[in-house]
Amino acid sequence: MVSSVKGTFDLFYPDIKKYLLMEECARKIFSLYGFSEIRTPILEHTELFSRSVGDETDIVKKEMYTFLDKKGRSLTLRPENTAPVIRAIIEHKLYESPRHSRLYYIGPQFRYERPQKGRYRQFHQIGIEIINDPFPLIDFEGILIAKELLNSLGILEVEVKINSVGCKKCRQNFISILKDYLNKFKGDLCSDCNERIERNTLRVLDCKVASCQKVIENSPVIIDYICDECKEHFSKVTQFLNDFEIPFKITPRLVRGLDYYTKTVFEMTSFKLGSQDAIVGGGRYDGLISSLGGPDIPSFGWALGMERLSLLMEDSPLNDNLLYLAWMGEECLKFAMECASYLRSKGVEVVLEGSLRSLKNSLKRAERFQANYSLIIGEDEVKSELLTLKNMRNGEQIALKLNEIPNFILNGE
C-alpha cells in the first residue's frame, strides 16, 4: 500500500465540514468589505520568494520545496501566498483598478518543516491583501476583519498582539543598535541566531530557542527607535482599536518571520494551542510591490492557518440537514426520486440509494450515514401523500406533506 507523503494529510468528513465552514464564513465577511477572490498558481519561479520573503529567512534557506523543471528552470511550491498575489497584481497591472485593490485567497501552501500538531508540510491558509492605501485605517480594518472572522466561527478567546517594526529608514538605526547588543551574547545564542546577527538581525527576535529567549528578553525594542511618522501611524492604529473596544497587547519584540514587513505587524494567538499559538499573522509591507518590479505603492495583509483554527473549532454536528430517503418497494422508487429532487431544490441534503432494503435495514443505513432524518416512503405514503419523517437523534416520527418538510428540517417549524 502507498501511504500519504509525510507532513500531508487527507481531508474528509467530518473534518472537511470545518474547512468548508471556514471558507464560507470568510467569503461572506470579505464580500461585506468589498474584497474579491484571487487564485494564484501553486508553482512559482523560485526568485519570487528569494526576492520577497528574503534569502536569509528560514523559509527560503530551509523550508521551500524547490526543484528544476525539464528546461532547468528553478521552480518552487509556494510557501506563502502574499508574494504570488503581489506578483499577479504587478503582472496584470491590477493596481490600476480600484476594484482589485482588495483581494483574498484560500488555498494550500508548502513548507518542509517538522510535522507536529497544527503544522504540516502541506497546509492551508485564508488571507487578504489590500493595496494602494497607506493610511492607519487600513491596518485597523485588516485586524478587525480577522477578528470578525474568528468570532463568526466561535473563536472568542483570542489575544491580539501588535507592534511597529518601523520603516526602512528608521529600522536601520535600530538594527545597528540591536546588533551591538547581540554581539555581546554570541556565546548564549544558537548557531542559527549567530548567523542571523550579520545577515538578518531582526530574525533573532523571532527565535524560540530557550537560551536565545533569555538574551532577547533584555534586548532593545524597536518601538523605542522608530521615526515620528511611524510613531504617529502606530498611534492611530492603536487608537482605532481602542475606539472600537478591541483588546490588544503591544508586544515590543514581535517582528514576524518575513523580511517584507514595515510599520504595523500583528498576530492573533490562542493559549489553547500551546507553544505554536499563532492563528493569524500579518501587517503592512509598503515596499514589497516596488521590490518586485511594480510601482511604489503600499500594501497590507494577513494570513490565517486553517489547520490551527480547526483545532479550536467545536466538534459539533455540522450536517443538520442530511436526510436519508428510505423507499419500500420498486413501485415507490419513482415517487422517491421525485421527492428527493424536490427536497434538494429547497436546500435539503438528501441521500437516495439504489438498493432496495427493508425498513429496518434502511434505518440502520441512515444511522451509518449519520443522517439526522429519515424519510420513509411506502405504498401508503404514495397513496396518501403524507410522508413519515423520523428524527434519527430522538426517534420521534411525524407525518408531513412533501412541501412541509423543507421548512420543518431547515427552520424547525
Per cent of the chain over pLDDT 70 is 97
Mean pLDDT of all residues in 167-177: 89
| Per-residue pLDDT at 320 | 66
**Tens digits of residue pLDDT in 56-75:** 677 888 899 999 999 999 99
| Per-residue pLDDT at 35 | 98
Nearest of 91, 114, 95 to residue 103 by alpha carbon: 95
**Tens digits of residue pLDDT in 199-252:** 888 888 888 888 898 899 989 999 999 999 999 999 999 999 999 999 999 999
| Per-residue pLDDT at 380 | 87
CB 258 within 8 A of CB 267: no
Mean pLDDT for all residues in the chain: 92
Q: Is the pLDDT of residue 317 over 70?
A: no
Whole-structure pTM value? 0.89
Q: Is the pLDDT of residue 136 over 90?
A: yes
Q: Residue 320 and residue 18: Cα distance in Å, rounded?
A: 14
Mean pLDDT of all residues in 157-164: 96
| Per-residue pLDDT at 257 | 61
Nearest of 136, 142, 43, 134 to residue 87 by alpha carbon: 43
**Tens digits of residue pLDDT in 344-369:** 999 999 999 999 899 999 999 999 99
Place of cell 551574547: 185
Cβ partners under 8 Å of residue 7, min gap 6: 112, 113, 115, 120, 121, 122
Mean pLDDT of all residues in 86-113: 96
Domains of the chain in start order, with CATH, are: 15-167+226-312 (3.30.930.10), 323-411 (3.40.50.800)
Give 386's pLDDT tier (boundaries 50, 70, 90). Answer: very high
Cβ partners under 8 Å of residue 112, min gap 6: 7, 62, 63, 64, 65, 121
Q: Residue 332 and residue 289: Cα distance in Å, rounded?
A: 64
| Per-residue pLDDT at 413 | 61
Q: Residue 67 and residue 71: Cα distance in Å, rounded?
A: 11
